[in-house]
């Protein structure tokens, strides 16, 4: 997959630059994509994740979309709203962290076999730093799985996600992975169900040590 060449700085700006803590202060016990799209994402996770995996759900909420019947070795979550995270039945541990202020993951190197980011990547204003951190906390051959759809909180999504068509949004996320310097096999999977919100998944693999 080719990466986007020069990226203008204002790609990463947002209409609402007030603190994200304010925007995410109240919990939202809602879903952000249609039920059929959630099923498609869960099916993808079922195909690519193994029960022995240590999983990190980044930009997490009360729902992680993991298959109910599979227990993973460990699931950690990071998000913005503590009440949502406390209610997420899949998380063995969680933390609150604003990645736009502190784009550092509070985990050791090689700590996870999979890092997930569901329908949230458009809110990152410092994505290159975050994806370098994702590569750091992934074990060699670990998977980074970023899913995207077309809904967004418009004032909080970066400009790039307003102006780029879907294929270029996927390439942009592929560029985040590529520029971490430690991810290979970057692929786009269109798993959009019929008559429901689309689902594009960009996956990358942490290069062998
Ligand atoms: C559309 S919701 C998606 C939540 C969940 N991943 C899902 O699939 O339902 C966007 C999520 O992005 C997270 N988020 C937004 N801005 C963030 C930031 N600055 N730092 C960390 N997480 C952020 C919030 O926790 C919020 O739950």
Task: Give 12's pLDDT tier (boundaries 50, 70, 90).
Answer: very high
CA 80 – ligand 1 centroid, Å: 6
User: Angle, to 10 degrees, between the axis of helix 127-137 and the axis of helix 166-178?
Assistant: 60
Which are the contacts of 111, defined by CB distance < 8 A and separation ≥ 6? 54, 56, 137, 139
CA dist 190 and 202 (Å) reads 9
In a mutational test of the pocket of ligand 1, which residue from 123, 125, 154 has the highest number of ligand atoms less than 8 Å from its CB? 123
The predicted pLDDT at position 30 comes to 87
Q: Write the CA distances from 133 to 71, 89, 106, 125, 176, integer angstroms.
A: 25, 25, 9, 14, 11
Burial of 201 (0-12, 13-18, 19+ CB in 10 A): buried
* Mean pLDDT, residues 109-135 taken together: 98
Q: Given this model, what pLDDT does residue 7 score?
A: 79
pLDDT tens-digit map of 188-201: 999 999 999 999 99
Q: Which residues, including other chains, have CB under 8 Å from residue 6's CB and lie 6 or more apart?
A: none
32 confidence band (pLDDT: 50, 70, 90): confident
In this prediction, residues 14-33 reach a mean pLDDT of 94
Report in angstroms the alpha-carbon separations of 109 from 96, 112, 142, 174, 209: 20, 8, 12, 22, 11
* Confidence bin at 120 (pLDDT 50/70/90): very high
Q: Which amino acid residue places its CA nearest to atom 27 of ligand 1?
A: 61
**Confidence band of 61 (pLDDT split at 50, 70, 90):** very high
Cα separation of 158 and 196, whole Å? 24
Mean pLDDT (the chain) is 96
Q: What is the CA(9)–ligand 1 centre distance, in A?
A: 22
Q: What is the pLDDT of residue 95?
A: 98
Q: Ligand 1: residues whose CB is within 6 Å? A: 20, 24, 32, 59-61, 63, 79-81, 98-100, 118-120, 123
pLDDT of 16 strictly over 80: yes
> What is the 148 CA–ligand 1 centroid distance (Å)?
12
Each residue of 127-174: pLDDT tens digit?
Answer: 999 999 999 999 999 999 999 999 999 999 999 999 999 999 999 999
- Residue 138 Cα to chain centre, angstroms: 14
Between the CA of 60 and the centroid of ligand 1 the distance, in Å, is 6
Identify the band that residue 176 occupies on the pLDDT scale cut at 50, 70 and 90: very high
What is the Å distance from ligand 1's center to 123 Cα? 8
Which DSSP helix (H) or strand (E) runs through 30?
none
pLDDT value, residue 89:
97
What's the confidence (pLDDT) of residue 9? 80
pLDDT at 36: 97
pLDDT value for 6: 76
Please report the atom of ligand 1 found closest to the CA of residue 84.
Answer: 27
Residue 8 has pLDDT above 90, yes or no: no
Q: Which residue's CA lies nearest to atom 14 of ligand 1? A: 59
Strand partners, 190: 200
């Amino acid at each position: 997959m080719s990466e986007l060449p020069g990226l203008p700085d204002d790609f990463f700006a947002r209409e609402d630059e007030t603190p994200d803590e304010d925007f995410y202060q109240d919990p939202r016990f809602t879903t952000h994509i249609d039920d059929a799209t959630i099923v498609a994402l869960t099916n993808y996770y079922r195909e690519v994740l193994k029960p022995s995996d240590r999983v990190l759900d980044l930009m997490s909420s009360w729902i992680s979309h993991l298959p109910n019947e599979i227990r993973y070795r460990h699931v950690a979550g990071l998000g913005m709203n503590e009440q949502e995270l406390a209610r997420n039945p899949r998380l063995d541990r969680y933390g609150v962290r604003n990645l736009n202020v502190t784009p550092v993951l509070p985990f050791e190197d090689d700590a996870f076999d999979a890092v997930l980011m569901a329908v949230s990547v458009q809110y990152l204003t410092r994505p290159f730093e975050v994806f370098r951190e994702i590569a750091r906390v992934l074990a060699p051959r670990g998977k980074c799985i970023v899913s995207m759809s077309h809904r967004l909180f418009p004032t909080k999504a970066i400009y790039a996600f307003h102006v780029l068509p879907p294929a270029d949004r996927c390439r942009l996320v592929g560029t985040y992975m590529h520029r971490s310097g430690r991810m290979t096999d970057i692929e786009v999977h269109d798993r959009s169900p019929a008559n429901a919100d689309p689902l594009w998944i960009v996956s990358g693999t942490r290069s062998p040590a």
